[in-house]
Structure 1
Amino acid sequence: MDFSAIIPALPGMWEGMAMTLKLLVLGVVGGVALGTVLALMRLSHNPLLSRVAGAYVNYFRSIPLLLVITWFYFAVPFVLRWLTGEDMPIGAFTSCLVAFMMFEAAYFCEIVRAGIQSIPKGQMGAAYALGMNYGQVMRLIILPQAFRKMTPLLLQQSIILFQDTSLVYAVGLMDFLNAARSRGDIIGQPHEFLIFAGLVYFTISFSASLLVKRLQKRLTV
């Protein structure tokens, strides 16, 4: 084992890590936003909205993420061509980002729904008594408290997404793992680079998990 070739290759691998973090941040933001909408739909008294959101969540939680990534990679350009009648090239990054947002939204939806249901119903009744409408109650009272309670779970799911970003190798996107693997193949030291990549993933994920546990204890208190 010779790890000396890793240091000169760090700038190239850092570009891959930047791609991984970009996918992570945008995927979490989009997933939480869409997941919040889905959670409100699931909690709605409208049976149509509730069933549509439930079907969405059940579907995406029942299929592997790799399938979603490859499906969106081929489906997004086809759908845009069907809607616009023109060929609109969509890169691997955009298709992967859409796949992450829609897939993770199913999991964030359940986290947000559980957070909303954990708030005592008496608070909503008191807000209605003060003359607030449903949107004001959710925006000013329920969601701020719910997000505080579910922050550790949201962060834990974000750690899982950070690990899952390595699946973008299927469509040729150069994330951190793919960058490390390709440079190891070029130099002729694939094992050393894969071991290094594994250590980086472990260090980041384990450190983030410890921070989430500390945050959970602090929020609980």
Structure 2
Amino acid sequence: MSDTAADPRLLRAPPKRGIRLSWADERFRSIIWQILVVGLVAGVIWWLVRNTAHNLEVRRIATGWGFLSREAGLPVAESLIPYSPTDTYARALLVGVLNTLKIAVVGVVVATILGTLIGIARLSRNWLLSRIAAAYIEVVRDLPLLLQLLFWYAILQGLPSPRQSLNPATGVFLSNRGLKLPWIQWQDAHSFALLGLVLGILGAFFYARSARAKQMADGQPRKVWPVALGLVLGLPLAIWAAYGAPWQGDIPALRGFNFQGGLTVTPEYFALLIGLVMYTAAFIAEIVRAGILSVPKGQWEAAEALGLQRGRIMRMIVLPQALRVIVPPMTSQYLNLTKNSSLAVAIGYQDIVSISNTTLNQTGQAIEGIAIIMVVYLTISLSISLFMNWYNARIALVER
């Protein structure tokens, strides 16, 4: 490095150049084009709104959101919250949103697990396992999703009646009325215990981060598992005991022509879940396979040289690196699964699309009904994208 001092004039920031009101100025042209584009979009929106309002007025179609407070008279087969046909349209639509979230959340979790296992099996050294995984991927991806949903719904409808139901395990029954599983008699104490579990998981996560930061500062390791165990298990159990939650389970039993008690998974929900999970898992499997293959082969060889088993190498070395390739396209599959759930109307599962369609047929509020569907799916999609982008930024490599 030269010992000659740098000229102070060279260290100064270049002076800011002002905008010249000339078409030759690039910044001036950029501003003009942006103004024109914004004006064009605003004009198109104004024309659409004005034209729609005029057509509605000519046809004497009422608009507004007042119908949400009217009695729905709409029967809903299953809901996560109490609902009856005497409730309002607003509550019926809320039931539809919750039903959509129920299929989306469970479907994303199960499809991720199944797709990851199939993607790893596709790379297995076992020839038969690898070919079975490959055949599954090719067949399922090439069949239309709607056809698969109808296929699974027909299979479930073809099961025997409750009296001749399949009983693969104690308290588990599979019939044309759906799947019956043992459950608990849910009370407020269970809700508080569940809330305690969520708070315990968050507390354990932040405590682990704090312990790791302190270890990096002073070099002293700290045991995390006792505190994490107390927060994740001890806190919910303490809340459970304090509120006197019952410990006995609710076992389904045949009473007359149907089962009583337990948890019911309806044929419509079961068929939709199976179809969405199996279809999405085939795409996730290929994403996982591509992510694993993106990890340099030298990582495998170095780990094997250390004597690590292949499963441990996959779990601790390869998959954490492959996640950086897997997460971005995985986000698209999560969005696809959520939006594909709108096909539920074909098999009678009442999600937001089904209930909104029934609502607009009864009230004639077509624009409002379509707007509700758009807002719901837009909100869910943006939420998934924001979370996955945050997670992708967390696992991204940071250059030093």
- TM-score when normalising by structure 1: 0.87
| Code of the aligned partner of 1:38 | I
For 1:174 and 1:101, the matched residues in 2 are separated by: 18
1:118: Cα distance to partner?
1.1
Which of 315, 319, 333 in structure 2 is aligned with 1:139?
Answer: 315
Task: Summarize the Cα distance change of 1:79–1:45 in structure 2 as closer, same or farther, 3 Å threshold.
Answer: farther
| Code of the aligned partner of 1:112 | V
- Does 1:31 pair with 2:207? no
Task: Summarize the Cα distance change of 1:133–1:210 in structure 2 as closer, same or farther, 3 Å threshold.
Answer: closer
Which of 136, 139, 146 in structure 2 is aligned with 1:56?
Answer: 136
- Does 1:20 pair with 2:81? no
State whether residues 68 and 90 of structure 2, in contact with CA within 8 Å, keep that contact through their aligned partners in structure 1: yes
For 2:397 and 2:90, the matched residues in 1 are separated by: 40
For 2:313 and 2:386, the matched residues in 1 are separated by: 34
Q: Which consecutive unaligned segments of at least 5 residues does structure 2 have?
A: 1-61, 70-88, 168-172, 179-266
For 1:172 and 1:49, the matched residues in 2 are separated by: 36
2:377 match = 201
- The 5-angstrom pairing of residues 156-167 of structure 1 reads 156-167=332-343
1:189: Cα distance to partner?
2.1
| Code of the aligned partner of 1:92 | E
For 2:310 and 2:157, the matched residues in 1 are separated by: 38
Partner of 2:142, secondary structure, is: coil
2:274 match = 98
1:3 match = 64
State whether residues 357 and 369 of structure 2, in contact with CA within 8 Å, keep that contact through their aligned partners in structure 1: yes
Measured against aligned partners, the alpha-carbon deviations of 1:144-185 in whole angstroms (never above 9, x if no partner) come to 222243122212210111111100001111111111111222
Which entry has the higher C-alpha Rg, 1 or 2?
Answer: 2
1:121 match = 297
Q: Which consecutive unaligned segments of at least 5 residues does structure 1 have?
A: none
User: Looking at both structures, which has the greater relative contact order when contacts are Cα pairs under 8 Å and sequence separation is at least 6?
Assistant: 1
Deviates more, 1:14-23 or 1:144-153: 144-153
Measured against aligned partners, the alpha-carbon deviations of 1:199-219 in whole angstroms (never above 9, x if no partner) come to 332344356446656765673
The alignment-based identity, stated in percent, is 36
1:99: Cα distance to partner?
1.2
For 1:87 and 1:207, the matched residues in 2 are separated by: 35
State whether residues 27 and 100 of structure 1, in contact with CA within 8 Å, keep that contact through their aligned partners in structure 2: yes
1:184 match = 360
State whether residues 77 and 87 of structure 1, in contact with CA within 8 Å, keep that contact through their aligned partners in structure 2: no
Q: Tell me the matched-pair count.
A: 221
Deviates more, 1:37-46 or 1:146-155: 146-155
Partner of 2:66, secondary structure, is: coil
Partner of 1:174, secondary structure, is: coil
For 1:173 and 1:17, the matched residues in 2 are separated by: 12
Task: Summarize the Cα distance change of 1:80–1:113 in structure 2 as closer, same or farther, 3 Å threshold.
Answer: farther
Which has more helix, going by share of residues? Answer: 1
Task: Summarize the Cα distance change of 1:7–1:78 in structure 2 as closer, same or farther, 3 Å threshold.
Answer: closer
Measured against aligned partners, the alpha-carbon deviations of 1:101-146 in whole angstroms (never above 9, x if no partner) come to 1111101101111111111111111111111111111111112222
Taking only aligned residues, the RMSD between alpha carbons, in angstroms, comes to 2.7
